[in-house]
Amino acid sequence: MELKQYAHIIWKRVWIPVLLVAVVAVVTLLTAQTPPPSYGLSIRFSVGMAPQAAEDEYNYDGYYAWVSSEYLADNLTELVSSQGFANDVNTHLKEVGNSISIPAGIISAETKHRIIRLNMTWGSAEELEAIGPAVTTAMVENSIKYFPQSSETSTTITLIDTTGPFLANPPSLRQRLDLPIRLMLALAAGIGLTFLLDYLDDSVRGKAELEAMGIAVLAEIPKK
């Protein structure tokens, strides 16, 4: 069968693939559930403890200060997810006239030696921009009070940098390709259905089909 015959078969019932593609597109767009956008913020701090060494006396206070700094950074990872730390952040938000209130557990943390990184997600980029400075203030000014063994004079928590707000849940590759793949499958199914209907149609559609059956054609009546 020539390509022209294939094209004629499809064109004869072109409404079938067009209708299937249109139905699949409408149903997909109406039933697609896109998650609401969420935004992320990342803040890094360095944690340090000054050695308490006497002059002209050799000791291991410098070494222990480095080790204590790492222990303190590990402890802070648990503190930032507590209700007490969330209350401190909310207090600083109110001090600047902001009514935002964050719940406990929204902030997670990870450490690498004496560096601690706080991560949080929120539904509004504008509100997250206000939450970030409040978290930084609570971390620098209030976190040491939870550790009596550390003194404010010997312990320093310093802001390194802030990253964000950034989109935390961009569309996945599957979400981006879902509609095109469905439309391609609908088009393929529609074309396959046109060929199936053409195969099942036993009516004579041309002189060539009669001659293929061994019937001689004596004359043809034109359509016009």
- The mean of the pLDDT values for the chain is 85
**Could you give the 3-state DSSP secondary structure of residue 154?**
coil
Same domain for 151 and 176? no
Say yes or no to pLDDT of 56 above 60.
no
1 pLDDT band (50/70/90 cuts)? low
The rounded distance, in Å, linking the Cα atoms of 206 and 52 is 103
Q: Which amino acid is at 4?
A: K
CA atoms within 13 A on the CB side of 3: 0
Is residue 51's pLDDT more than 70? no
Q: Residues 138, 144: contact at Cβ < 8 Å? A: no
Taking the chain, what is the end-to-end CA distance rounded to the nearest angstrom?
Answer: 27
Phi then psi dihedrals of residue 172, to 5 deg? -75, 165
Please check the confidence at residue 54 and state whether its pLDDT lies above 70. Answer: no
155 & 56 share domain: yes
Note the pLDDT of residue 26: 92
Is the residue at 120 inside a domain?
A: yes
Specify the DSSP element, H or E, that contains 42: strand 39-49
pLDDT for 175 beyond 90 = no
| Residue 58 banded pLDDT, cuts 50, 70, 90 | very low
Q: How many domains does the chain have?
A: 2
Q: Are residues 28 and 44 in the same domain?
A: no
Average pLDDT of the residues in 59-70:
68
Rounded Cα distance between 73 and 69, Å, is 6
The verdict on residue 109 lying in a domain is: yes
Query: Does the pTM of the predicted model rise above 0.85?
Result: no
Which amino acid belongs to residue 70? Answer: E
DSSP state of 105: T
Cis? peptide before 165, omega within 30° of 0: yes
Q: pLDDT value at position 154?
A: 73
> Would 128 be classed as within a structural domain?
yes
How high is the pLDDT of residue 152?
A: 59
Full domain range(s) for residue 29: 3-34+172-212
Between 22-36, 51-65, 109-123, 204-218, the lowest mean confidence (pLDDT) is in 51-65
Q: What percent of the chain has pLDDT over 70?
A: 91
pLDDT attached to residue 145: 86
Per-residue pLDDT at 148 exceeds 60 = yes
Residues 121, 194 within the same domain? no
Distances (CA, A) of 143 to 26, 33, 136: 54, 41, 10
